[in-house]
Structure 1
Amino acid sequence: MLCSGANLTDVLQYGIDFPMILYLDFSNMTLNTIPIEITKIIKCKKLDLSNNNIHELHTFSELNVWHLEELILSNNSINDLSTLNHDLLFNSKEIKLLNLSSNPITHLGYEEHTLLSSNSLEVLDVSNCQITSLIGPLVLSGLKKLEYLNLSNNPLKFFDGVFSYSLKILNIRNCLINYLGERALSDLKNLEIFDASLNEQLFLKSEIQARSLKTIDVSRCSLRTPNLLGMSELRSAFLNENRIRKLVAYQFINNTKLVHLDLSKNSVEILDPLAFYGMTSLAHLDLSTNMIADVAWETITRTLPSLDTLKMSHNFINSVGPMTSRTLRRLDLHHCWITYVSNDAFARLDRLTELVLADNPLQSLQPGGLSSTNLSALDLSYCRLSHLTAREFLNLPNLTELSLTGNRLVTLRNGTFAKCPKLRLVYMDDNPWRCDCYSVNFAYMAHLVNKTNKNAMTIERMPQCLTPDNVTGMPWQVACRNTLTYGRDNRKNFSMAIGVILILCVSGLTAIFMAVHENIKTRRAMRRRRHLDEYGNPTRGGGLGTGADEYFDEYAAAAESARKLSQLPSYDEAIMLPKPPQQLSGQGRFKRHSCTQTEDAAAMVAAAAAEAVVAAAEAHNRLRQAMSGGRDRGHATAAVGRGGGGSDDWFLSPPPPPPPLPPPGLRVTHL
C-alpha cells in the first residue's frame, strides 16, 4: 500500500485492512511516532517510514511484524540506536534489510545492551550518518548473518579490530579515515569486497592482511605504495588516482590470482622490469596517465603470460621495442612521446588485434614496423605523418580499419594499401590534401575512400582539399565532381537514377494500360450480359429480343409462302382452282377454252406470288430496322440466343429472291 506524502488521518479513515497488507509505505508523512493503528501488520514484508521525524522506536514493542523483511527508516531523527527496540530485530526471524541512513547516529554501540542484534539481518545501511569510529570485536558481534555494511559518507576516522564471520562487503567510501593498520581487516574472516575510495588522506603504511579479500578499491586516496602482499586471493585492485611513484621488483609477487590491476593517474616514474613478476593471471593492466619514460617491453610482456589488455597512454615513452606475448589483444599507447617504433615491435604479438598509436610525434614509420598478422584495427591519427608507402603496410593481411586523421599527408601513392585486402574503413580527414583530380594517385585515394567508407563516412569526416587554392576547403567529391574519378560514380548514379525512372514509367504505363483494358473488358462483358438478357432470353416477355424473333418468323413464313406460290400447281391443286364461267356453244354445249383457262390460272398464281414477295420484303425491312440500333450487340446476342455458331449477322442477310414467274406466253397444260 503506497501512502507516501498523504495525511495519516485521511489514510486511516479508509478502513484499511492492515493484517492483509504486504507492503506499507508511510514515507514523507511527517510522523513523529509509529501510529498505533498499524500495530497488527502481521503479514507485512516491507515497511517504509523514511523521510519522517521519528526519533525513537520503543513503540515497536507493540508491533507484530514477525514476517517483516525490509525496514526503511532513512532520513529521520534517530540519534541513538539504544532507542531502537532490539526485540524487533532479534525476534523477527525474517528481517533481512535495515536502512538507517541519513540519521544523526553517532555510533553503533559500545556495550552489549546497546548493540544491534539479529539472527537474520543481512544488510545494514548507516551511510550519511555521524558515526566517527568503528572499533572493537563487539560492534558487529550481534549480527550473525550480516553480509553488507554500508558506512559511506560518515565522518569515520578510526576503523580497527572489527570482528565478523559473515560480513562479505564493507563500504567506507568517502569517510575521513587516514590510516588502516595491518590487522584492520584480518578479523573479517569472509570479507570479499572492500571499498575505501575517496578517503583522501588514507595511506597504507604496512601490508594489510585480508586473506579472503577478492576486490579492493582504494582509488583517490593518498597511497604511496601498493601494499597488497597480504591479499593472496585478490582478483581486482583499483589503485588509481593515488600518489604511487615507483613499482619495485616483485611488487605483486603474492598476487598470483589478480586479474585486473588499475594503476592509472598516479605518479609512477620508475617501472622495474620485474615489477609484475609472478602475476600469472593478470589480464588487464592499466598504467595510463603516469610519468613512465622507460619500459622494458620484452621483459614485462614475458612476465605476464595471461595479459590481454595493456594501457600505457599519457606517459613519457619515446620508443617502442620488441614485445613477445601469445595473449595480448589490445595495446593502447596513444598520447605519449613516441618517435620511434622498431621494425619487429609487434611481430611476435600473435593475437594483437587493436593497436592505438594516436597523438604521437612519429613523423614517419619504419618499413615493416607495424607488421602483425592478426592486427585488424590501427589508429595512426595525429601522428604528424607526412608520407606513407606500401612498405609500412607489408605484413598486415587482416587489417580492416585504419585511421589517418589529423596528419600531414598531402598524397598517397597508388597501391599504398595493396597488401591489405580486407581493409574496409579508412579515415583520412583533417589532412592537407592536394587535389590533383586527374592524377593516378588522387584517383587511387578517391577510390579507396569511396570503397571503404561507403556506409560509415559522415560529412564531418570527409577529406578536404588544401591545394590548389581554387578548391581550398572543398570536400574531394565537390572539388573533383567533373573529373573521371568522381564523374564515373556520378554517371553511374545518374544512369541508375534514369533506369529507375524508366522502369517506374514503364511500370506505370503498363499498369494504366492493364487497368483501362480490364475496364473495357468489364464494360463489354456487362454490356453483353445486359443485351443478352434483352435479346437472347426467350422466357422474358416483350423487349427487343422477342420482337426480333417475331420478325424473323414472319419473314421466314413469307419467304416460304412466296416459294410455294411460285411453283406450278400439282394436278390436285389445279383441279381445286376456281374455274371461270363457261359459255354455251351453238349446239347447247359448253366450250372448253383450255388455253384461256390455263392463262388465267397462271395470272392468279403470279399475283399471289407477287403479294408474297412484297410481304417478305416488308418483313425483312422491319427486321433490319429493329436490329439497326444494336447491330454490334446483336452479333454476340443472336449467336447466344440461337445457340448456333458461325457468323453473328447471319439473320441480317437479305432474303433469297423469289423464284421467277412463268413467262406470259407459257401455257399450263392439265395432265
Structure 2
Amino acid sequence: MHLLYALLVLLSLSNGFSLNCPGRCSCDSVHSVQCYRLMELPFGIPPTTKRLYISHSKIHHLQQSNFTGMLALEEFILLASGTESVENDTFKTLNTLKTLELWKNKLRRVPSALPASLEVLKLNDNSIYALYQSDFEGLKKLKVLELNNNLISSLSPSMLSTLVSLQSLMVDGNNIESVAGPLNLPHLKHMSMENNKLHLISDTLFTSLQSLQFLSFSGNFLTKIPINLPKSLLSLKMERNQLKVVRFRDVKHLENLSHLYLSENFLSSIDGAQLLANLTTLEVSQNQLQMLPLRLPVRLQKLDCSSNLIQSVTARDFQDLQDLKHLFLDNNIVSLFEAGALQRCSQLSNLALEQNLLLSIPLRLPKTLARLDLKGNAIQDIAERELKDLKQLQVLNLRNNKLSALDLRALEGLPRLRHLYLDGNPWNCTCSLLRAREVLKAKGTDVRGGQCAAPAERQGESWMSSKKITRQCEPQLHSTETKKKLKPEDASSTKVSPDDDDYDYEID
C-alpha cells in the first residue's frame, strides 16, 4: 500500500501536478495555481509555483507573510478581490517576480518597495489618487506600466524618471489636466492618456521620447494637436477633443505617421493632409465637414468621413487616391455624386453611402467594389447601367429606399453577389418580383426582402415568405429559367458577414 502511494506521488510530480492543492484552487501544474472566491491568500501553495492567479475573492489586505516560501514566483495576478491595502515591503523579497497585476481592487496608492526584477506592473481600476517618485525607485527593468481608471490628477517627469526601460505607459481614465515635460523615457513606444481632463500639453513633453510610435490623447479637452511630436510616431489618436482646426504644417515632420484619428471634434474643413506623405488611414467622422478633405495623401487606403455635412462627391476629390480601399461617407447629406467620381480609385472594395439623399445608384463605380451600402436613401429603381461593371460585388444593401420593383437583368450581372438587402421598401408584389427573387436564390444569393405596399390585396404581406403569393405565382416560379444554378467559376471564396449593421469592411 505504501509502495503504491509512493508511486502515485512520483507519477504526479513527473506529470507536473501537486497532490496538496489549497482549497478553492486549481493546481494545474507545479508552476501554476489558480484560485477563486477566497477570503485570504491560501496556505500550502507549492514553493515551485511561478504563476499565482486569484480572482473574485474578498482579500482586503496583503502582507509580506502571505508570500513566505514563494521563492520561484514570477507572476502574481489579483483580480476583483476588494483589496484595499498592501503592507510595506510585501513584494520586496520576491526577487524573481516579473509581473504584478492588481486589477479592479480598492488600492489608494502604488505598493511600496517593489522588486527590481519587475517588468510588468498593472494597477488598473483602483482608487490610486497620487503618484510619488519613490513608487518606482529601482524599477530599471520595468517595461509596462498601466494605471488606467484611477483618480490620478497629475503626472510629472520626476515620478517616472527611474523607469529607463519603460516601453508602454497607460494612464487612461484619470483626472490629469496637464502634462509637463520632458519625459525622459528613451525606450517608450506606446503612450496613452485617453479620457482624462487634459487642456494643456507641454511643448517639451516629447523631447526625449524619440522611440514613441503610438500616442493617444483621445477623450480630452485639447484644442490643438501637440507640437514637437517625435518623428518616430506611427499612430496618433485625437478623437473626442475640441479641435476646430488642424494645422498640418505643425506635423509635416511626421514622415512615418500612417494612422491619424480626428473623429468627434469640431472640424469644419480639412486641407493639407498631403504633407503627411505616408498616411494610410484618416478618420474624421462626426465633425462638421461640409465638403470632403482637400489635398489628401496619395497613399491613403482608408478614409472615414461619416456623420458630417458633406453634400457632394466629385472626381476632383479622389483624383490621386489610387490606393484607397475603404471609403465611409454614411450619414451625410450627399445628394450629388458625380458619375465616375471614384473610377481612379482602382483598389476600392468597400463604399458606405447609407443615410444620405441619393435618388439613384451612382454611375461608373469602381469595378473592384466588394461591398456597396446604400441603405436609407431615396433610390426609386435599379438600372442595369449602374451595376453592370460590378463583377466583384458580394454585398449590396438597398434597405429603406423607395424601390417598388427589381430589374432582374441588373442583378443577374452580379455573379458574386452573396447578400442582397431589400427590406424597408414599398414593394409592388407582382409575380415578376417573386420570379426575380427565386432566380437570385437559385444562384446562391441570400435575399432579405420586406413587406408589400401594392397591390392592395397583398399590402402588409411579406414577399419573401407569403405562401399565398407563392401559390398564385407558382406557374412562373417553376419555369425553366428559375432553375439556373450558380456556375462554380462564379462562386466567391470570400466570407462576408450577412449582418449589414455590424460587418467587417476588410473584404479581400
Q: TM-score, normalised by structure 1?
A: 0.59
1:56-75 to structure 2, matched below 5 A, reads 57-59=63-65, 63-72=68-77, 75=81
CA distance 1:490–1:447, change in 2 (3 Å):
closer
Instruction: Sort the Cα spacing of 1:342 and 1:68 in 2 relative to 1 into closer, same or farther, 3 A.
Output: same
* Partner Cα separation in structure 1 for residue 306 and residue 218 of structure 2: 19
Distance 1:250 1:408 in 2: 46
Match of 1:427 in 2: 421
Structure ID, larger Rg: 1
Alpha-carbon deviation of 1:351? 0.8
Question: Do structure 1's residue 327 and structure 2's residue 323 form an aligned pair?
Answer: yes
Q: Find the residue that maps to 1:270 and give its secondary structure.
A: coil
The one-letter code sitting in structure 2 at the alignment partner of 1:309 is K
Match of 2:142 in 1: 146
Letter in 2 for 1:69: E
CA distance in structure 2 between the aligned counterparts of 1:319 and 1:243, rounded to whole angstroms: 26
In the alignment, is residue 291 of structure 1 matched against residue 288 of structure 2? yes
Q: Does 1:489 align with 2:466?
A: no
- Which of 361, 372, 376 is the aligned partner of 1:382? 376
Deviations 1:553-585 (A, max 9, x none): xxxxxxxxxxxxxxxxxxxxxxxxxxxxxxxxx
Cα offset for 1:336? Answer: 0.7
Query: SS in structure 2 opposite 1:134?
Result: coil
Please tell me the root mean square deviation across aligned C-alpha atoms, in Å. Answer: 3.6
Percent of aligned pairs sharing the same letter: 24
* Counterpart residue number, 2:50: 45
485-494 vs 392-401, which moves further: 485-494
The corresponding residue for 1:168 is 167
Letter matched to residue 449 of structure 1: R
Change (3 A) 1:481 1:196: same
From 279, 284, 302, the equivalent of 1:282 is 279
Give the letter aligned to residue 487 of structure 1.
Answer: P
Q: Is the 8 A contact 1:49 1:72 kept in 2?
A: yes
Q: Secondary structure at the match of 2:366?
A: coil
Note if contact 1:81-1:105 (Cα within 8 Å) is conserved in structure 2. Answer: no
- Contact conserved, 1:27 with 1:52, CA < 8 A, in 2? no
Aligned to 2:185: 188
The change in CA–CA distance for 1:411 and 1:212 in structure 2 (over 3 A counts) is same
Q: In 1, distance between residues paired with 2:77 and 2:395?
A: 53
> Are the equivalent residues in 2 in contact too, given 1:219–1:241 (CA < 8 A)?
yes
2:266 is the counterpart of 1:267: yes
Whole-Å separation in 1 of the counterparts to 2:392 and 2:425: 25
8 Å CA contact 2:84, 2:108 repeated in 1: no
User: Cα distance, 1:407 vs. partner?
Assistant: 1.3
Which of 1 and 2 has higher RCO (CA within 8 Å, sep 6+)? 2
In structure 2, the residue matched to 1:241 is 240
Residue 373 of structure 1 aligns with which residue? 367
The 8 Å contact of residues 204 and 225 in structure 1, kept in 2 or not, is answered as no
Answer yes or no: is the 8 Å Cα contact 1:97–1:123 preserved in 2.
yes
Q: 1:98 corresponds to which letter in structure 2? A: L
3-state DSSP of counterpart to 1:98: strand
1:3 aligned residue (2, 19, 22)? 22
In structure 2, the partner of 1:468 is 455
Distance 1:140 1:434, change over 3 A: same
Q: In the alignment, is the contact (CA less than 8 A) between 2:439 and 2:481 conserved in 1?
A: no
User: C-alpha distance in 2, partners of 1:431/1:127?
Assistant: 49
Q: 1:252 to 1:3 in 2, by over 3 A?
A: same
How many pairs align?
448
Determine if contact 2:150/2:174 at 8 Å carries over to the other structure: yes
More helix by share: 1
CA distance in 2, matches of 1:316, 1:247: 18
Aligned to 2:488: none
Displacement of 1:102 in angstroms is: 5.9
Do 1:148 and 1:167's aligned partners in 2 also have CA atoms closer than 8 Å? yes
Deviations 1:212-267, CA, capped at 9 Å, x for gaps: 12222332222222226413222233322222222233353133222332222222
Once the two structures are superposed, the pairs formed by residues 508-547 of structure 1 within 5 Å of their partners are none
* CA displacement at 1:337 relative to structure 2: 0.3
- Which of residues 377, 400, 406 in structure 1 aligns to 2:400? 406
**Residues 1:189 and 1:448: Cα distance change in structure 2 (over 3 Å):** same
- 8 Å CA contact 1:428–1:463 kept in 2: the answer is yes
| Offset from partner CA, 1:285-306 (integer Å, 9 cap, x none) | 2221221112245x22xx2x32
Q: What is the letter of the counterpart of residue 225 of structure 2?
A: P
Higher strand share: 2
Do structure 1's residue 309 and structure 2's residue 296 form an aligned pair?
no
Conserved? CA contact 1:58–1:84, under 8 Å: yes
CA contact (8 A) 1:399 1:422 kept: yes
Whole-Å Cα distance in 1 between the matches of residues 460 and 475 of structure 2? 20
Tell me which residue corresponds to 1:95: 97
1:354 matched to 2:375? The reply is no
Q: TM-score, normalised by structure 2?
A: 0.76
In structure 2, the CA distance between the partners of 1:364 and 1:251, relative to structure 1 (3 Å rule), is farther
Cα separation, partners in 2 of 1:268 and 1:41, compared to 1, 3 Å = same
Q: Which moved more, 1:203-212 or 1:140-149?
A: 203-212
CA offset at residue 472 of structure 1? 1.8
Task: Indicate how the Cα distance of structure 1 residues 417 and 457 shifts in structure 2: closer, same or farther if over 3 A, else same.
Answer: closer
Q: 1:481 to 1:79 in 2, by over 3 A?
A: closer
| Distance change in 2, residues 1:414/1:451 (3 Å) | closer
Q: Contact 2:373/2:398 (CA < 8 Å) preserved in 1?
A: yes
1:531 paired residue number: none
Distance 2:373 2:59 in 1: 59
Whole-angstrom distance in 2 between the partners of 1:365 and 1:49:
57
Unaligned ranges ≥5, structure 2: 1-19, 484-508
